[in-house]
Structure 1
Amino acid sequence: MNDEQIRKIIDGPQDYEDSKEDTLRSMLSDFYNRKMLSTVIFIWVWGLVVVAGATYCAIRFFDAEQTRSQIMYAALFVCCVEFLALTKIFAWQLIHRNGILREIKRLELRIAELSGGRS
């Protein structure tokens, strides 16, 4: 494998690579594309369900007359907020996945270049 072939592979369009820079805009455009549509819908639906549950628990917390009910709604509110944070972390990991795949591909090409030059 010569330098020209390696450059063509690195600079050429891959199915997962739209941009070569790791800016927030490029990561979001990688995330909100057709291939990730089902995942994006899944994350947004769960996010909206959890926000609705947290809002319901907050409203019921202030309407509750017993301390026992207030503790229950406060605990449910905290659980909803924690689940929302976990959903955000899951989405953030999926956003970074394409950049990591791009770097692994570059590393594989460099290893192929180094091993090809020695044989």
Structure 2
Amino acid sequence: MKRSNENIDDLIKNVLSEEEAEFYEQIDEPSIFELLSDVYRGKQKWIAISGTIMTFVLLILLIYCSIEFFNATEVRNMILWGAGGFTCLIIQSMLKLWSWMQMDKNHLLREIKRLELQMAMLSEKIKDSR
């Protein structure tokens, strides 16, 4: 029996009290820009900042390698400049993958905290009913 996320959200809202449902509505899905800005917060923000700076440096180096590649007259020089540009692309891709994985990790942590909050509210209801 498969249900979409909207159906599950509706079931959760029906179970919650009115006050809890309003609080649940306030905890909305963050936009891509909010997820990206979360990477630059916390204890590892210096790694994210240095990765971003390195990405821009590699972009400039990639542009330089591309210009030199097209201006090269010998095959050996073309291979060297092409390899340099390819290396820049690979390193940039790795840095971007790291950033996306950080965004995903932060999003998963947010969902786990949401579950912890729901578990805490459920345990309070169980204690009150006894």
The structure 2 residue matched to 1:30, chosen from 26, 38, 45, is: 38
Residue in 2 that maps onto 1:15: none
Q: Does 1:80 align with 2:88?
A: yes
**Shift in Å, 1:67:** 0.4
Question: How many residues align structurally?
Answer: 104
Bigger drift between 20-29 and 70-79 goes to 20-29
Measure the CA separation in 2 of the matches of 1:107 and 1:37: 26
Gaps of 5+ in 2: 1-15
TM-score of the superposition, structure 1-length normalised?
0.66
Q: Rg larger in 1 or in 2?
A: 2
The Cα shift of 1:45 comes to 1.4
Q: Which has the higher contact order (CA 8 A, sep 6+)?
A: 1
In structure 1, distance between residues paired with 2:88 and 2:29: 35
Unaligned runs of 5+ in 1: 12-18
> Root-mean-square deviation (CA), in Å?
3.1
Q: Percent identity?
A: 30
- Alpha-carbon deviation of 1:34? 6.1
CA distance, structure 2, for counterparts of residue 73 and residue 83 of structure 1: 15
Match of 1:22, as an amino acid? Answer: P
Aligned to 2:114: 106
